[in-house]
Amino acid sequence: MKNRNSIILLYFLLLTTKTILAQDKIDQFLKNQPIIDVHIHITKGYADNEDYNKINADIDIAKIEWMGQRFDENNIVLALGGGSMKYAKLWQELDKRHRSGPRFPCNPLREQDEPCENELPNLKELDSLFKNGTFKYLGETSFHSMGIHPADERFNPYWELAEKYQIPIGFHADAGPFQRNMEETPNWNEEYGNPLLLLPVLEKYPKLKIYLMHYPGRYFNECIEVMKKYEQIYCEITAVSMFAPKEKWEPRVKKLYEEGLGDRLMFGSDYVGTIRKNIEIIYNLDWLSEEQKRDVYYNNAAKFLNLTETEITRHHKMVE
């Protein structure tokens, strides 16, 4: 009996050591590695969230500060995210790592989008916010969840603005998420997450800087098709890679590289508090070279966003 217990103990000791060693390896790899997160959601603070509701008496600010701590821990030097006009303004003001903009369109029925007075922002105001650099982002698109065709004519003046200021647009290019709140999204139509529906938009505005979100998702072939047609279209890996079984999505990521498009894959987290988890997902793709992993974490997004040498140097300094 004693022997058996020692064997079990030894086994767990080995297992723990193995996990610690693996974590050490990632930490070593991430040393001095800046990371760009191209998929966060800007929202109000939730008073019942125990992660941050004690940080600051103002619950909205508490959430921003808590996010900032997660950025510090994970070497996030820049983050793209959308939300209501109110919070998109506030987040970028309080933490300069945020490149913010309006959720597109915002959904008046969805709590996450509060306050959403108008589905589409006032054009004149948006123009000046892009122009003076307050806003540097448009998205995430909610065409699928609101049941609106991506090429709906109402969006034309917004595409025009985004093209003019070269604003990155995050397009939700997947069918999910599969846990839906029917009261918030009664008109859900997953077909509207298909990036091929963007083709008429791109024909009209061929310089639009769009990136396709949730790459290894349902529309992975369509993503490849659009990316082959337009060299400025990038994609990111989130959500599907975290929730779906690896054997389902990994071959799709391999395919992206086989098609010669791996240098346009970017890092994102999407779900609050999952940055480290998403970092590990990339790190554990053992067929990627060290350089390719670093490209996903930072270099591909730096290229997509046309970051200057000064900005890139500053980002590396931030994580020294």
146's tokens: 């609101």
Residue closer to Zn ion, measured from CB, 113 or 294:
113
Measured in whole angstroms, the distance separating CA 251 from the mean position of its chain's CA atoms is 21
Residue closer to Zn ion, measured from CB, 38 or 307:
38
Residue closer to Zn ion, measured from CB, 201 or 213:
213
Minimum CB–partner distance for residue 82 and Zn ion (Å): 10
The residue to which tokens 């000064």 are assigned: 310
**CB count in 10 Å sphere of residue 148:** 18
Minimum CB–partner distance for residue 204 and Zn ion (Å): 24
- Residue, CB closest to Zn ion: 172
61's tokens: 């600010």
SS3 labels along 222-272: HHHHHHHHCCCCEEEECCHHHHCCHHHHHHHHHHHHHCCCHHHEEECCCCC
- Separation CA 121–CA 74 (nearest Å): 32
Residue closer to Zn ion, measured from CB, 75 or 269:
269
Minimum CB–partner distance for residue 215 and Zn ion (Å): 11
Minimum CB–partner distance for residue 29 and Zn ion (Å): 27
122's tokens: 């006032």
Summarize as ranges the residues that interact with Zn ion (CB under 5 A). 172, 213
Residue closer to Zn ion, measured from CB, 39 or 98:
39
Minimum CB–partner distance for residue 198 and Zn ion (Å): 15
Does residue 83 sit in helix, strand or coil?
strand
User: C-alpha distances in angstroms, 221 versus 133, 202, 203, 217?
Assistant: 35, 18, 20, 9
Residue closer to Zn ion, measured from CB, 198 or 213:
213
The residue to which tokens 């994970």 are assigned: 74
Minimum CB–partner distance for residue 140 and Zn ion (Å): 5
Residue closer to Zn ion, measured from CB, 78 or 213:
213
| HSE-CB of 309 using CA atoms within 13 angstroms | 0
- Separation CA 44–CA 41 (nearest Å): 10
CB 102 within 8 A of CB 126: yes
Minimum CB–partner distance for residue 60 and Zn ion (Å): 23
Minimum CB–partner distance for residue 40 and Zn ion (Å): 11
- Separation CA 157–CA 60 (nearest Å): 31
Residue closer to Zn ion, measured from CB, 213 or 301:
213
Q: What are phi and psi of 258, to 5 degrees?
A: -60, -30
Q: Which of 114, 57, 118, 62 minimizes the C-alpha distance to 86?
A: 114
Minimum CB–partner distance for residue 270 and Zn ion (Å): 6
Write the DSSP symbol of residue 296: I
Residue closer to Zn ion, measured from CB, 112 or 292:
112
